[in-house]
Amino acid sequence: MLKVENIDVFYGNIQALHNVTIEVNEGEIVTLIGANGAGKSTLLKTLSGLLKPKKGKIEFLGKSISGKAAQTIVKSGISHVPEGRRVFSNLTVEENLELGAFLRKDKAGISSDLNKVYETFPRLLERKKQLSGTLSGGEQQMLAIGRAIMAKPKLVLLDEPSMGLAPLMVQTIFKVIEEINNDGATVLLVEQNAHMALSVANRGYVIETGKVVLSGPSAELQSSEEVKLAYLGG
């Protein structure tokens, strides 16, 4: 579904990604693990069109999306749930969700997906008329994921969905990631909590200082001494 080949990405003169190659097959959950500042978020931003690669190719569903505008990439079926939630705090919960469906024209489908988001996150239904800036961190994360679902994506890019959340809320968010995947969306997940990420993912890539240093099935990465020492607390 997604093919990234040998991309280099820079912030000004500083190179953030070096010759990165990954692929994501339809129906998978694939996780990117690595330390803070390793380049994981940079890769997601590049896939969603917020950054442009200097070199290399990005293909989605067999078509090149390298250097395309963010709205074109959303139209093609990729939704990005950014790090730090980024909900529109001065809009209500429902207005945020409706904005997720901005590019869609199928009113019946939008209404049905809105109901589905409320079924998945009953807390959002209770707070649908509330300004999203007044929600807790966990509720804002639910809203950010719900907003992405409203675009009816084929591929969801999730950046640090568990960051700053209470353990119980982390469990809820990961259950939802599995549900989204079971409903037919492919997921590319960036996550500091390597234990949780590898427990839901089919495969993973380890990124260090902007380079892919290891990849393989989740079970293989979980049992790798290198991964255990660096990311799973030994």
Pairing between β-strand 211-217 and β-strand 203-208 as defined by DSSP bridges? antiparallel
The residue type of 25 is N
The first and second tokens of residue 217, run together, are 């099935």
H-helix or E-strand spanning residue 71 = helix 70-76
CATH of the domain at 166: 3.40.50.300
Domain that holds residue 225: 2-231
Quote the number of domains for the chain: 1
* DSSP line for 131-195: BGGGS-HHHHHHHHHHHHHTT--SEEEEE-TTTT--HHHHHHHHHHHHHHHHTT-EEEEE-S-HH
Sign of CA pseudo-dihedral 170, 172, 178, 179:
negative
pLDDT for position 66: 93
pLDDT at 188: 98
* CA triple 50-52-55, angle to 5 deg: 155
Q: What is the pLDDT along the chain (234 residues), one digit of tens a residue?
A: 999 999 999 999 999 999 999 999 999 999 999 988 899 999 999 999 999 999 999 999 999 999 899 989 999 999 998 887 688 888 999 999 998 888 788 999 899 889 889 988 898 999 999 999 899 888 898 899 999 989 889 999 999 988 888 888 888 889 889 988 998 999 999 988 898 999 999 999 999 999 999 999 999 999 998 888 888 765
Q: What is the pLDDT of residue 163?
A: 84
